[in-house]
Structure 1
Amino acid sequence: MRALVVRLDSFGDVLLAGPAVRAVAEHADQVTLLCGPLGEAAGRLLPGVDDVKVWRAPWEGVSPPGVEEADIDGLVRRLRDARFDTALVLTSFHQSPLPTALVLRMAGVERIGADSADQPGRLLDVRHRRQPGRHECEAALDTAAAMGFTPRAGDDGRLRVLPPPDTTTLTGNGSYLVFHPGASAPARAWGPERCAEAIESLTDHGHRVIVTGGPAETGLTRRVSGAVAVDLGGRTDARTLSGVLYFADAVVCGNSGPAHLAAAVGTPVVSLFAPVVPADRWRPYGVPHVLLGDQGASCADTRARHCPVPGHPCLTGITPHDVVSAVHKLVQETL
């Protein structure tokens, strides 16, 4: 059986699909992941994925392409040529799988399943409805199970990636913490000044700190690292970052892809979590973690990319002392 798993949004979203991908792989001869450009690097880290196809959907992302630019006809041809027997469409709780299901129907996929709040007509063969409050990872596994894709016996359902590489040449020897100050949405980011203060406080308490960030975040990582932390901004691809996170004692970051990558390599997370999305669905999954931030703030569940409340109070209320205390709690728990 040739199976297709679809997750069209971001890096962290694709990582959260990992346990469901493994469940599909347990029953299929070949598993292909169809994802967007932001999720490709994560998809190539997932056990159970044999091939990755990349496509920008006009209904996903902050700046989606126009319908003509997306070349839906071209995607239909690519999928038809691949002759998939079945497809699992994974979406977040606020997204509809039906546009994707329509494309898959046009491509001749025989059996399609998804979690759908809307009436799917003939677009879905298996229509699952998620239980309220389920974590995104659990909801994806539930949808896979509804299609008959149950996990392998002994699979704990946690996030997982391919074995991380040795990154000692980047981090040096000895224990360290990782601090990742960036986030894909400004509403989810702690201020640079607070990040710098927290990093100084962590080093004052005897911790060696490694600061990570993408190529577009080198100015930010340089600013918050100052003279006390190791700045790896722009120097790690997804696989290398998995190694840096794997060997860390703990990771401090916002609700972002690196939080889920840290969970996938089993590293505890201090999550600077802005409640613009619900923590019960998006918290670091399957690892010890501490959530910092006012989860009852007025911005809760708005899905805002830019904080709608002056002063960004849900995160500005966090102090460097809070971060140090949370790190110590996690490190002591995992000794």
Structure 2
Amino acid sequence: MRTLVARLDNVGDVLLAGPCVRAVAAHSDEVVLLAGPRGRAGAELLPGVDEVIEWCAPWIDPEPPELTQESVEALAKQLRDLRLDAALVLTSFHQSPLPLALVLRMAGVPWIGAISEDYPGSLLDLRHRVEGDPPESERALSLATAAGFTLSDGDDGRLALRGPLPDTTGLTGEPGYVVVHPAASVPARQPTAERSRAIVRALAEAGHRVLVTGAPAERRLTAEVAGDVALDLGGVTGLPELAAVLAGARVVVAPNTGPAHLAAAVGTPVVSLFAPVVPSARWAPYGVPTVVLGDQQAPCRNTRARRCPVEGHPCLAIDPADVVRSVHELSGGVS
């Protein structure tokens, strides 16, 4: 049986789909993961994935490409050539699975399941509904379970990565440091550089060895945040190397962003600097000890804003001393 799992947005979203993917893999001969360009690197790290294909969905990507007949037909042909037996379409609560379900039907996929509040007509064979506000990883796994795919015995349903990870001790030194990852893909979820810099300085003054991580486009930010008290690793790691760096940390301090979920996937506790533009119940790091900081009742709550709608970004005006206390708590008092 060849099964496709689709998750078309960011790295963090793809990582949170990991338990669902493993459940599908436990009952399939081959699993193909359809990812967007922003999530492909995460897809390649998931256990249970045999093949990754990439397509940028105009109804999902925050900078959507033009929808063209040629691009849709090319995707449909690629999917048809895979000779799929079934497909699960994973989406966030505010996204519709139906556009992709239509393309999958065009590609001849005989069975399709998704979570959908909208009437799907003949586009879905399984229209799954989820009550309440469960963590995103559990929400995705519930779709797999409803479709008859269950986790293997001994699989605890936490996030996980495909190993082995690269050796990054040449970059970091020995494990036991604290990582601060200051950036997020959505500006409203990211503390100001000044606040992140103050957190780094407070951690260093408390005796922690601090590393600052970031993507190549974030080098200016990581340099400013690291200052002269932390090791700046901005732009020097790909996703597997970043995972290894996070695995060597006692604690990771990060906003609601992919690396926070990457830290959870390698089992590292997280201090989550969480802007409430989306619910922390759904999107906080999953399956590891976590402290959520930030005003969860701020005026921006549940707005899904990409840029902070409140002057001064008050929801992330977090006292660095609270971060230090949280790191101390999660690291068992070690500095």
TM-score if structure 2 supplies the norm length?
0.98
Change (3 A) 1:157 1:334: farther
> Aligned partner of 2:268: which letter?
T
CA distance in structure 1 between the partners assigned to 2:213 and 2:169 by the alignment: 15
SS at match of 2:161: coil
- Contact 1:56-1:70 at 8 Å conserved across structures: no
SS at match of 1:31: strand
The corresponding residue for 1:238 is 239
The corresponding residue for 1:136 is 136
CA distance in structure 2 between the partners assigned to 1:133 and 1:185 by the alignment: 22
User: What CA deviation, in whole Å up to 9, does each residue of 1:123-172 have, x standing for no partner?
Assistant: 00011001211111000000011110111111110000012222100101
The corresponding residue for 2:279 is 278
User: What CA deviation, in whole Å up to 9, does each residue of 1:248-287 have, x standing for no partner?
Assistant: 0000000000000000000000000000000000010000
Residue 197 of structure 1 and its aligned partner are, at CA, apart by: 1.1
> Aligned partner of 1:57: which letter?
A
User: What CA deviation, in whole Å up to 9, does each residue of 1:262-319 have, x standing for no partner?
Assistant: 0000000000000000000001000000000000111010000001111111112x11
Residue 69 of structure 1 and its aligned partner are, at CA, apart by: 7.8
CA distance in structure 2 between the partners assigned to 1:79 and 1:333 by the alignment: 52
CA distance in structure 2 between the partners assigned to 1:199 and 1:147 by the alignment: 46
The corresponding residue for 1:260 is 261
Residue 70 of structure 1 and its aligned partner are, at CA, apart by: 7.0
In the alignment of these two chains, the number of paired residues is: 334
Matched, 1:194 2:195: yes
User: What CA deviation, in whole Å up to 9, does each residue of 1:29-58 have, x standing for no partner?
Assistant: 000000100000000000000000000111
Residue 198 of structure 1 and its aligned partner are, at CA, apart by: 1.1
Matched, 1:40 2:40: yes
Cα root mean square deviation, aligned: 1.3
> Aligned partner of 2:128: which letter?
H
**Poorly superposed stretches of 4+, deviation over 3 Å:** none
Matched, 1:114 2:119: no
- Contact 1:272-1:315 at 8 Å conserved across structures: yes
Q: Which runs of 5+ in 1 are unaligned?
A: none
Residue 25 of structure 1 and its aligned partner are, at CA, apart by: 0.2
Residue 61 of structure 1 and its aligned partner are, at CA, apart by: 1.6
Residue 332 of structure 1 and its aligned partner are, at CA, apart by: 1.2
SS at match of 1:12: helix
Residue 68 of structure 1 and its aligned partner are, at CA, apart by: 1.4
Written as runs of structure 1 = structure 2, the 5 A alignment for 1:1-335 is 1-68=1-68, 71-163=71-163, 164-316=165-317, 318-332=318-332
Q: Percent identity?
A: 60
CA distance in structure 2 between the partners assigned to 1:305 and 1:81 by the alignment: 37
CA distance in structure 1 between the partners assigned to 2:56 and 2:334 by the alignment: 40
Q: Which moved more, 1:161-170 or 1:84-93?
A: 161-170
Change (3 A) 1:162 1:82: same
TM-score if structure 1 supplies the norm length?
0.98
Q: Which runs of 5+ in 2 are unaligned?
A: none
SS at match of 1:190: coil
SS at match of 1:271: strand
